[in-house]
Each structure stands twice: as structure tokens, then as C-alpha cells.
Amino acid sequence: MADPNYKDEEKNGSDDVSAVEPRRRRSIDIIHALVVEDHAHEIKLRTMSWQKAAWLLAGDQVCLAIMAQTWSLSVLGWVPGIITMVASGVLFWITSITMHKYIMKYPEIMNICDFGYYIFGKSRAAYAFSGFMLLANNIILIGFHILTGAKIINTLSDHSQCTVVFSVIVTLMGVVMSAPRTLRHVSFMSMFSAFCMGIAILLFLIFAGIEDAPGYGYNGSYPTDGPVRTYAFPLSGTTWINCLNAVLNITFLWVPQILFPTFIAEMERPQDFPKSLAVLTAISAFLFICPPAIGFHYLGQYSTAPAFGSLGPLTYRKGSFAFVIVPTLVIGVIYANVTAKFIYTHILGTSRHAHSNTVIGWSVWILVMAGIWFLGFIFAEVVPSMGDFLSLLGAAFDSFFGFIYFAIAYWLLYKGKLFAGPFRSIMTAIHAFVMVVGLFLLGPGLYAAVKAIIADYSGSTTPAFSCANLSI
């Protein structure tokens, strides 16, 4: 955790020239001291360049969730869907920059828990709450990636084994791949991960374009639901719960900031993070909108999540879905690394084992990592619908870590001068909207997600540790 004895030199959030320059120099001095201290250790964490951080960000964001956006468009229609996607991207950029500015004010921040500790007045309760949310969010996501990996192997092998066996295989692969203790090493995996996901998306678009008609939709196989059509607004009969879950599906994709403080803490020059963020935003803006829009054009109301499941020929589904196994594992590794570091530092603290190649250090790291993946495996096996639980994540966790936390951080940064000029007034209005969005997701959004889960449990659900075929 960040140093609780740290005393803030700044009063009332002043950002005039006379105050900004000393603060900037102070931040740079602290960063330099932290890097020097880290580089004296045997295992060095603060080693990422902004280019490697950009690859790490891309590896985390270029993921299977992109292929669920076509379904979101099929629920919302062109106009609300595209507006939600663009607005989510704009808010992602603005809140991420606000987060970075706040971290530059407190360079000691190592993770989202430290961030919560500071913005709530150095509250240990806020730190504990953020820690619980971090662990719950990340372990559930690891479970999702275990389930996705099992689904991919099911599809490729024509369900040659019990699904639990495939889940165990993915879990063991995840533990092995999670062995590196620095994010700089994980960033190398991320380069390959983003490339493989890009190939999967490209193949999907090619297959969707050349096939005569889609294969399957949630309302039945083609042409049960009539000819393929797209529409500007939600179809008649679409419930507001479905619409909210589609919105949550979009916001979930655009809200990875729970990991960003840890990424920034392992950069050699954290002040360069906006460069990495610019690369990520450009990649995300294209991949999060264009492929889903093309997919909706070809699949229409037959869109599924992920969209691979709507393709007709089995060879098309297998050919495109196969490449997703790499990002599925690598993204699980990224979330596991951030989670393990939070637990690991609380176990070993500042002892030499925490940053040296000792038997105790590596033993604790491997045990913590294995425990995280095991919990993810348990969760993957007992939930009835991981898709609905992703909506729950978007409402319960992203409301805080994508919106509410950063609206509060903005207020603390500019307290006393929120309307000092046109630009600052506009940014204040945007961050007020960010707070409203966060509260909306936490209220009605959470209600919609819970209602969807209740509906799953009331119907036919997959039993725990099932051998059922999960092929798309």
C-alpha cells in the first residue's frame, strides 16, 4: 500500500503556474527515487517503456469481448449502439487521463487500491473495499477466461472430452504462463495475443461476408427469424433489461482502468503513460466499432455473443474461433499478475524475498498464482451464465473503477477552480456526467444484471462441474 504517512504539500488543488511546476518537479523526483530503489533489487519491476506498456494495454483490450459487440448492436440498433460505443470511448480517454494526472500527483500509488485510499482521504476502509473489489473482479474474469478456453477446445475437438477436463487443462496452462513476475515480460506475450485476436476478427469478417446466410441466432437458426435485417433502433418487444445489459456489455469492454495503476507503477517513466494510452485508444476505437458494425451488417438479428457462433459452416466457426485461445490465456495471465502482486506484497511486505530470487519468494509467488487460478476455475464451473456475470461486473465494479473513482479524483485535482475558464468548465461538466453514469450503472444497471442472472437460475441451467458440450 502507498505510504500512509505521506503529507500532501498542495492546498485547495491550486494549479497556477507557481504551484504546478514545484509539484511536477516533486513528482519527477519521487519517480526517480522509486526507480532507483527498484533497480537496486534483484527482480526489477519498474522497467517498462511506454512502447511495452502500449503492447500490454493492447494485449489486455484486444479480446474476445469485441466479438460480443455485434450482439449489443443487434439489441440496441445502429443509433443507440454506435452512440454508446463512441461515448464510452470518449469517456474512457478522459477518465484515463484524469487517473494518470492523479497518479502523477501521488507517484507512490501502486494499484487501484492505493488510488481508492488517496481519493477517499487516505481511508483504510476505502483501501480494503478497493482490495475486495479488485480480487473479486479479477478472479471472476479469470474464471470467464477459463470457461472461454474450455469452450474453444470443446469447439475444436468436437467435444472429445468432458468440459471439466478442458477447464483443468486451461487452468494449468494459465498457472504455467503466469510464472513471470514482471509485466515487462508479460507484455511480450501481449504482442502475440493482440496479433492472434486480430487474425480471429479478420477471419470472422471474411467468413461472415462470403457465407450465404448466418447459421444460428438466439431466436432460432436461419431463416426462423426471417431474412437478415438491421435497424436503427431496438426492435419491438426488446425489454429495457436487455438494452441495459447490451449497454453494460459495451461499457465493460471500454473500462479496463482497474489494471492501469499497476501498469503505470511498472513503467520506468510513468509520465509517458499518455503515449501508451493514445496508441491503445486508436486501436480500440477502430476494433471496438468497425468489426462489430460489419458483423451486424451481415448477421443482423441473428447476432450472438460471441459473434463466431452465428457463422453457418462449422469450419468457419472453428477456423476463426481457434485463434482466440491465445488472447484468452494471455489476458487471464495479465489479470492474474495484477491480482497476485496485490496478495504477494501483503504476504511478504518489504522483505528481501519480495524482490529477490529466493526459494521463499518464488514459492509464495507460485502458490498465490495457483490459488488465484484455482478460485477462477471454481467460479467458471459453478455459474450458470458467464455472460450475465460479465454484465454484473460491468455494473458492480466498472461503475466504481471506470467512472465514480475518476470523477472524485477530478474534483480533488481541481477543487476550488472547477469553473475557471471555458475548458475547465466543460471538463467539470463531463466529469459530473461521468459520476452520473457511474451511479446509473451501480443502480439500474446492477438491477438489470441481477434480474438476468435470476432469470438464468429460474430456467434450465448448466449444473456445477458439468460435462455438457459448450461448443459454439
pLDDT at 6 over 90: no
Mean pLDDT of the 4-26 span: 52
User: Which pLDDT band holds residue 386 (cuts at 50, 70, 90)?
Assistant: low
Question: Is the pTM value of this prediction over 0.75?
Answer: yes
Q: Is residue 465 part of a domain?
A: no
What mean pLDDT comes out for the span 115-140?
95
Given a cut of 70, whether residue 384 has pLDDT beyond it is: no
Residue 16 has pLDDT above 80, yes or no: no
Residue 4 has pLDDT above 50, yes or no: no
3-state SS, residue 87 = helix
pLDDT at position 14, please? 42
Least confident stretch, 17-26, 257-266, 419-428: 17-26
Instruction: Read off the pLDDT of residues 171-211 as tens digits, 9 standing for 90 and up.
Output: 999 999 999 999 988 998 999 999 999 999 999 999 999 99
Nearest to 385 by CA among 450, 447, 442: 450
User: Pick from 333, 252, 270: which is nearest to 53 by CA?
Assistant: 270
Q: Residue 24's pLDDT band (boundaries 50, 70, 90)?
A: confident
Instruction: Please state the length of the chain.
Output: 472
Question: Can you give the pLDDT at residue 387?
Answer: 63
User: Where in the sequence is the domain holding 385, given as residue range(s)?
Assistant: 46-458
Cis peptide before 223 (omega within 30 of 0): yes
CA distance 59 to 106: 27
What element of type H or E holds 333? helix 325-348
Indicate whether 430 belongs to any domain: yes
Helices 273-287 & 290-299, crossing angle to 10 degrees? Answer: 10
65-86: average pLDDT: 96
Q: Is 217 helix (H, G, I), strand (E, B) or coil?
A: strand
Give the model's pLDDT for residue 12. Answer: 38
- Residue 40: inside a domain, yes or no? no
State how many domains the chain has. 1
In a domain, 24, yes or no: no
pLDDT of residue 432: 97
Residue 38 belongs to a domain: no
Given a cut of 70, whether residue 462 has pLDDT beyond it is: no
Domain assignment present for residue 1? The answer is no
57-85 burial string, b = 16+ CB within 10 Å, else e? bbbbbbbbbbbbbbbbbbbbbeebbbebb
CATH classification at residue 368: 1.20.1740.10
Q: Is residue 151 part of a domain?
A: yes
- Calculate helix-pair angle for 446-458, 386-396, nearest 10 degrees: 160
**E strand or H helix at 62, and its extent?**
none
List phi, psi (to 5°) of 441: -65, -35
Please check the confidence at residue 466 and state whether its pLDDT lies above 90: no
**Which carries the bigger pLDDT value, residue 61 or residue 469?**
61
For residue 471, tell me if it sits in a domain.
no
Do 229 and 34 contact (CB within 8 A), yes or no? no
Percent of the chain with pLDDT over 90: 73
Mean pLDDT score across all residues of the chain: 90
How far is it, in rounded angstroms, from Cα 12 to Cα 137? 34
DSSP readout, 134-151?
A: HHHHHHHHHHHHHHHHHH
pLDDT in tens, 144-182: 999 999 999 999 999 889 999 999 999 999 999 999 999
